[in-house]
Amino acid sequence: MTTGSPQLKFRSNAARVGAWAWVAFAVLNLVDIVWRGRDLTALVLATVLLFGCGVAYVLGLRPAIVGDETGLTFRNPLRDVRVPWGAVRKIEGTDSVKVRYAGADGSEFVSRAWTLQSSPRAQARAQARAQRDAQKLPAGAAEVLKTRTPTAYAAQQLNELATRHRPKATKSGNPSKAAEQVAKPTGSVTWSRTALAALAGPATAVIIALLAATLT
């Protein structure tokens, strides 16, 4: 998966703060276990803390929406969605940021970003807050702000980035030559090996520690 230098990046600050808080909690407890723990119960607790760190990484630190000069990437908990700008058909911001894109077989696919998701209630609160803020602005700016929610704002920014970087069609008098010059980019969804390892490694350690404690 080839990416360029990030030009836009959206993340959930609340999720990141929560994840780092867990990591700090886990580190302090692991230090205490290393200092005082000498039995299998301490080993089980240590592996559970490590598994929690894996979950914190996958759910809190890893997810992001990244736009660069070549395309759009959704880093979801376990999978990556990579869509070159030429394959993007539409980016929407409703209850989440979604991208409609061309697949390898020419069909249209829809992928949803994990980060910036919101419930209908949170969406309504964000719209109400935006409308209150819009009352303090001139009419033109107010109309833009009235429906601006975090997901809608992200989608707008990404659509503008897509417009700037979307490849232009090549003009040629020879249709077959033009078809060769203009490749048809497609989006792809792949599993993240790093995310899977962050969960599988500690989970395996938890199982082994529990078996050892049970058999002892």
Q: What's the pTM value of the predicted model, to 2 decimals?
A: 0.80
The span from the CA of 154 to the CA of 147, in Å, is 13
What's residue 37's pLDDT?
Answer: 76
pLDDT tens, position by position, 135-188: 555 554 444 545 567 898 899 999 999 999 887 754 455 555 444 445 688 999
Mean of the per-residue pLDDT values for the chain? 84
Tokens matching residue 117: 């998701």
Question: What's the confidence (pLDDT) of residue 204?
Answer: 97
User: For 1-39, how does the pLDDT look when each residue is reduced to its tens digit (9 = 90+)?
Assistant: 666 677 899 999 999 999 999 999 999 999 999 888 778
Four-residue CA torsion sign, 9, 12, 14, 19 = negative
Q: Which tokens in the block code for residue 123?
A: 């969406």
Question: What Rg do the C-alpha atoms of the chain give, in angstroms?
Answer: 23
